[in-house]
């Protein structure tokens, strides 16, 4: 049985509730092993952290995990990254982060009155 893969991101909205955003519907990937799927996930996380798209985000991986990946996995990572950038889902992640930070600073200002 093949699995249908989606790349999702968890985030907090301005109310502080946890939400999930669909970044990319990757689809069925029967040509990939479970380890390759995990490597793709690590690669995309690495690219997001290194891109500076989410300022202040804690790094899950300290070294360049892309160097250890196969050429096949790197092709998928780069393809998925490019597609997410074109669709604007990476930009949406940044906007929700900035909106959350603004909301938190406004709450702090209100409490200081």
Say if residue 44's pLDDT is above 70. yes
Residue 64: what pLDDT? 65
Residue 76: what pLDDT? 94
Categorize the per-residue pLDDT at 50 as very low, low, confident or very high, splitting at 50, 70 and 90: confident
For 85-107, write each residue's pLDDT tens digit.
888 887 666 666 566 666 666 65
**Nearest residue to 72 (alpha-carbon basis) of 25, 26, 36:** 36
Retrieve residue 107's tokens.
Answer: 């709450």
Q: How far is CA 74 from the centre of its chain?
A: 16
Q: In terms of pTM, does the model score above 0.85? A: no
């Amino acid at each position: 049985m093949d699995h249908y893969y989606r790349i999702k991101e968890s985030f907090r909205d301005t109310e502080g509730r946890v939400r999930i955003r669909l970044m990319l519907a990757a689809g069925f990937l029967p040509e990939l092993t479970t380890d390759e799927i995990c490597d793709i996930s690590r690669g995309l996380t690495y690219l997001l952290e290194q891109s500076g798209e989410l300022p202040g985000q804690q790094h899950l991986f300290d070294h360049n995990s892309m160097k250890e990946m196969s050429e096949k996995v790197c092709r998928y990572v780069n393809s998925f990254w490019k597609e997410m950038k074109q669709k604007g889902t990476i930009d949406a992640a940044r906007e929700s982060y900035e909106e959350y930070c603004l909301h938190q600073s406004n709450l702090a200002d209100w409490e200081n009155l």
